[in-house]
Structure 1
Amino acid sequence: MTRRSPESGSDGPGVICTERYGTGLSKKYLQGKDGSLVCESAPAERHSLRRCLESLLLPHGFPHSVSEDYLEYQLWDTLQAFASSVTGSLATQSLLRGSGVGDATATVAAATVTWILRDGTGMVGRILFAWMKGSRLDCDAKRWRLFADLLNDVAIFMEIVAPAFPSCFTLMVCAAGVCKCIVGVAGGATRAALTVHQARRDNMADVCAKDGSQETLVNLAGLLVALFLVPLVSDSLWATYLLFLLLTSLHLYANYRAVRSIVMETLNQSRLSIVLDYYLREGRILSPAAANRKEPLLPGLGSQAPVQLGVPLRSLLSSVSQMEMLQKGNRSLYLLGWREDTGSLAAVLHERASSADMIRASVHAEILHQKTRSADPARFSVLAETHRQLDLMFPDFQQGLCSAGWVTDRNLLDADDWRVTWDQSKMH
């Protein structure tokens, strides 16, 4: 609030104070003739419908309570959800037709068995996927978000074409059910990770709730459109396929734009590799926005070093002499080396290793990966040399990360939970 002198206005009572609600509603309080406090009519009342929609669909305190990329992401995410809702209606129609709706020779028992098998295989797939990939979903939320939407389109396509192959109908429906359950795990988990990023006032519940309201409204609009479109194409398979192709193209494009609009300030392996490569070439740190634009979104892309953090000590070495070689020139809280089983780079973390130590270990692995191969007999000499290089460059690199807006007190480098304690005073 700001205060002004009551004598500030010459043609009327002075402004005592002003009041605002977020960035929208504002009021002025004036001094009345009898000394009372009078509220000046708020001009924002003309936009009462807009304020109502904002309070209904957007988090409280928007836009300051969410990240800067929130609105762009939600707009594209709304568009993709609409396209997915309509294609889902097409898939439902095909499933009902394939299950025998409208066919006098079909039995209720056969249709029931098909749906039970579909749901059962989907549940198994959900559990197995969460077990195999659950820990990776946080680290590469954008990739897995895009993967989930791609897989959802594959599942819908299988459901639409399943009636054309009666002998394989149950098998295709079950496969589509597995895909959709994987989509549910990957999509739900990555949505939670993105909510953590977007909620800037410890308002995760509010952001999540408003996202649910937006999705419900979009699905309702999709159902209304489907009520009009589905009867028009129900008698023509080619019209159904053409509509699916158009909506899927829109769905994939909107998904790509939505995921690409996200600017994560925490470092994962891909973003760290991009930032480090630019730093080594140009001597400057890329901002989170610039690095996120370069981040690959499809699995298998990117050139980051394959390194595992927080591995058990036994997987990295089997003798005291090997440990001494890994400690040579090492003053850090990690032991970086090559796994004995796969030959890939891995790091054993000290009990007191912080997020900065994990970032340093990953940076070290990137540099070491460029300078040596796992089969190189001189690799331990190169390792000691790179320790000295890290001692010189990493403090400036870390300071540059903080200055550029990166979050370094936490990371998404997928470190496992193994920790080891050794005597730092005995390090060479």
Structure 2
Amino acid sequence: MTEALVLVERDDTGRVSRIPIAPGVGRSSTGGIKALPSSRSPRSSYAALTGLGSIRHIFYDLFLPAGYPASVSPDYLQYQTYNALQAFCSSVSGLLASRGALEGVGVGNASASATQALLLTVLKDVFSRVTTIIAAYYCGTSLYPETKTFRFLADVVNDASIVLDTLIPYIGAINLSETIPFVPTGATLQIVALCMSGALRSLCGLVAGGSKAALTNHFASPLTGKGDVGELNAKDASRETVIGLSGMLLGTLLIPYINTRASTYIMLFVLVGGHLLFNYLAVRSVVLRTLNRQRTSILWTDYRKSPEVSKRRALSPSEVASRELIFETPMYMRDCNTGQIIGRCTLGAPLQTLMPLCTTEHIAAALQVFQKEKYVLFLADRKRWQSRGPTIFVCFKDGYRPIDQLRAWVHSMEVAAVLNDPHAAKDPATTYQVVHQAMALMREAMDGFVTCLVQAGWDTADDSMMFGSPTSLILGTDKDLQDAEINDQEVKKDR
């Protein structure tokens, strides 16, 4: 007699089921073999019997990505826990803000008209849309590499708009124009506050959307394999819907009892404080594996501190995450062993903006030194240096690669470390000798540095590695371009 075959299956929640298949038993009309009712392990059977297993299964199916935890990065659950708490606080405080905004457009005021409320809404919407356009122009290329900064900044801006909305009803009672000349009336201040609130909220939406896209790509990149970005977004939307609805329901129970100025601001203080705290904890829990300027500074400073090349290693992403600052000016180069700022560096600077800042000798020397590189490092005139080190601009050439961004930043840090010395040479020729020496050191150490980064788990192949895409690229001199054009024409004629 043939023994029964038992298949073991695991679903996307990790639940294991055993499916026995017995020959000759339960045959279908076509003569195939039917599977008997599945049998689970004793542990899963007990959980199903008590109802805990089915509840957990439903929870996983509804709110967690398929294949969790293998399909997401290790920091996913901790971030989403804090993110859920901050979203709950934001949902409740948003009701207070909505009440203030409605009072600002005339709800509850017998002298207000529907036309007036409509015009105020249109004016607020105009400011919101203009802010979106301006913010996208200035922040677009920084949203991906500076994800943590903008993620937290979005919530700070959102809380500012909430506080402003709750102040709108009380701003209308202010009337200092009778005693102080040229001071706007309370109604005018209300309109200004309403427009500012709309602008801040649109700024929050733009910044939060860009940073969320970067975080989604990160969470959908487990240590091995690749997750489903679309499914991850869908489950995030499900969680946010439930959390937002819960906060709205709780808020509707509390709002009728929060009708005085003192109670409003006590509740607002608690909610905004909790919102910012949970957001900070959420951002701190994220362990990004992509490089930006601050993380590269931490990695390079730690890598260079060991004099023996054989003993050098790169910090892991979790070690760097514990040391990086949430709010850090990206262009600052910092010696992360001492915390001292050693200079400023602007990556991807347009060449036209450098002409008033750099002397002719500096520009000529830089073009000569960087003939074989895909970037050019320019030093601003020493009179324009800050007290904390040199000011450096980096322009990229056509055909640069992501690794050239890393090389340019490391090169700039080595130059700044030497020139930050107040006794450093002031002569342009001698200064560019320092640049040339730093280039030789960077070339010698770069291969080993990149190898250690890959071994530590860093992603060095990301297209927007350091700062995004530069707005301008150097194509060469007019003579070089003309010669290239003539050569192309001659090749076409030969063909």
Please tell me whether residue 57 in structure 1 is matched to residue 63 in structure 2.
yes
For the Cα contact (< 8 Å) 1:310–1:416, is it kept in 2? yes
Q: Which residue is 1:3 aligned to?
A: none
Q: Aligned-pair distance for 1:280?
A: 2.0
Write the distance in 2 (CA, Å) between the matches of 1:177 and 1:350.
40
Identity of aligned residues (%): 29
For the Cα contact (< 8 Å) 2:87–2:243, is it kept in 1? yes
Write the distance in 2 (CA, Å) between the matches of 1:73 and 1:143.
15
Of the candidates 39, 56, 60, which is equivalent to residue 41 of structure 1? Answer: 39
Write the distance in 1 (CA, Å) between the matches of 2:350 and 2:161.
39
Q: Which residue is 1:188 aligned to?
A: 209
| Matching residue's letter, 1:229 | L
User: Secondary structure in 1 aligned to 2:39?
Assistant: coil
Change (3 A) 1:62 1:342: farther
TM-score under structure 2 length normalisation: 0.76
Equivalent residues in 2 for 1:335-350, closer than 5 Å: 335-338=376-379, 344-350=391-397
Q: Aligned-pair distance for 1:160?
A: 0.4
| Matching residue's letter, 2:202 | C
Q: Which residue is 1:143 aligned to?
A: 149
Q: Which residue is 1:111 aligned to?
A: 117
| Matching residue's letter, 1:291 | V
| Matching residue's letter, 1:184 | G
Write the distance in 2 (CA, Å) between the matches of 1:70 and 1:258.
10
For the Cα contact (< 8 Å) 1:82–1:218, is it kept in 2? yes
Write the distance in 1 (CA, Å) between the matches of 2:230 and 2:20.
38
Q: Which residue is 1:203 aligned to?
A: 228
Moved more, 386-395 or 96-105: 96-105
Please tell me whether residue 406 in structure 1 is matched to residue 435 in structure 2.
no
Q: Structure 1, residues 40-80: CA drift from partner, whole Å, max 9, x if none?
A: 42354712222122111122222221111111111111110
Q: Which residue is 1:354 aligned to?
A: 401
User: Secondary structure in 2 aligned to 1:84?
Assistant: helix
User: Secondary structure in 1 aligned to 2:378?
Assistant: strand
Q: Structure 1, residues 2-43: CA drift from partner, whole Å, max 9, x if none?
A: xxxx99xxxxx5654422223512222435364755454235
For the Cα contact (< 8 Å) 2:396–2:470, is it kept in 1? no
Write the distance in 2 (CA, Å) between the matches of 1:406 and 1:357.
16
RMSD between aligned alpha carbons? 2.8
For the Cα contact (< 8 Å) 1:138–1:193, is it kept in 2? yes
Equivalent residues in 2 for 1:378-397, closer than 5 Å: 378-397=430-449
| Matching residue's letter, 1:337 | F
Q: Structure 1, residues 367-400: CA drift from partner, whole Å, max 9, x if none?
A: 1111116993221010011111112221211111
Q: Which residue is 2:411 aligned to?
A: 364
Q: Which residue is 1:307 aligned to?
A: 345
Q: Aligned-pair distance for 1:102?
A: 2.8
Equivalent residues in 2 for 1:248-267, closer than 5 Å: 248-267=272-291
TM-score under structure 1 length normalisation: 0.88
For the Cα contact (< 8 Å) 1:309–1:415, is it kept in 2? no
Change (3 A) 1:421 1:174: closer
Write the distance in 2 (CA, Å) between the matches of 1:150 and 1:414.
24
Larger Rg: 2
Moved more, 194-203 or 265-274: 194-203
Write the distance in 1 (CA, Å) between the matches of 2:136 and 2:102.
29
Change (3 A) 1:16 1:105: closer
Write the distance in 2 (CA, Å) between the matches of 1:203 and 1:97.
44
Change (3 A) 1:105 1:420: closer
Q: Aligned-pair distance for 1:97?
A: 2.8
Write the distance in 2 (CA, Å) between the matches of 1:228 and 1:41.
47
For the Cα contact (< 8 Å) 1:30–1:38, is it kept in 2? yes
Q: Which residue is 1:10 aligned to?
A: none
Of the candidates 121, 125, 128, which is equivalent to residue 131 of structure 2? Answer: 125
Q: Which residue is 2:296 aligned to?
A: 272
Of the candidates 159, 164, 171, which is equivalent to residue 165 of structure 1? Answer: 171
Q: Aligned-pair distance for 1:239?
A: 0.3
Please tell me whether residue 92 in structure 1 is matched to residue 101 in structure 2.
no
User: Secondary structure in 1 aligned to 2:112?
Assistant: coil
Q: Structure 1, residues 184-211: CA drift from partner, whole Å, max 9, x if none?
A: 1111111111111111335211111211
Write the distance in 2 (CA, Å) between the matches of 1:212 and 1:368.
47
Q: Structure 1, residues 94-148: CA drift from partner, whole Å, max 9, x if none?
A: 2223333333333333322222221221111111111121111112111011111
Write the distance in 1 (CA, Å) between the matches of 2:270 and 2:351.
53
Change (3 A) 1:389 1:241: same
Change (3 A) 1:99 1:326: closer
Q: Which residue is 1:179 aligned to?
A: 200
Change (3 A) 1:125 1:329: closer
Runs of at least 5 residues in structure 2 that lack an aligned partner in the other structure? 26-32, 173-185, 307-311, 335-342, 386-390, 481-495
Please tell me whether residue 416 in structure 1 is matched to residue 484 in structure 2.
no
For the Cα contact (< 8 Å) 1:274–1:291, is it kept in 2? yes
User: Secondary structure in 2 aligned to 1:122?
Assistant: helix
For the Cα contact (< 8 Å) 1:330–1:387, is it kept in 2? no
Of the candidates 401, 420, 426, which is equivalent to residue 376 of structure 1? Answer: 426
Q: Structure 1, residues 153-210: CA drift from partner, whole Å, max 9, x if none?
A: 1110011011111112111111111100100111111111111111133521111121
User: Secondary structure in 2 aligned to 1:384?
Assistant: helix
User: Secondary structure in 2 aligned to 1:335?
Assistant: strand
| Matching residue's letter, 2:319 | A
Write the distance in 1 (CA, Å) between the matches of 2:370 and 2:475.
18
Q: Structure 1, residues 324-371: CA drift from partner, whole Å, max 9, x if none?
A: 555448754332222579773223334343222221111111111111
Of the candidates 249, 252, 256, which is equivalent to residue 227 of structure 1? Answer: 252
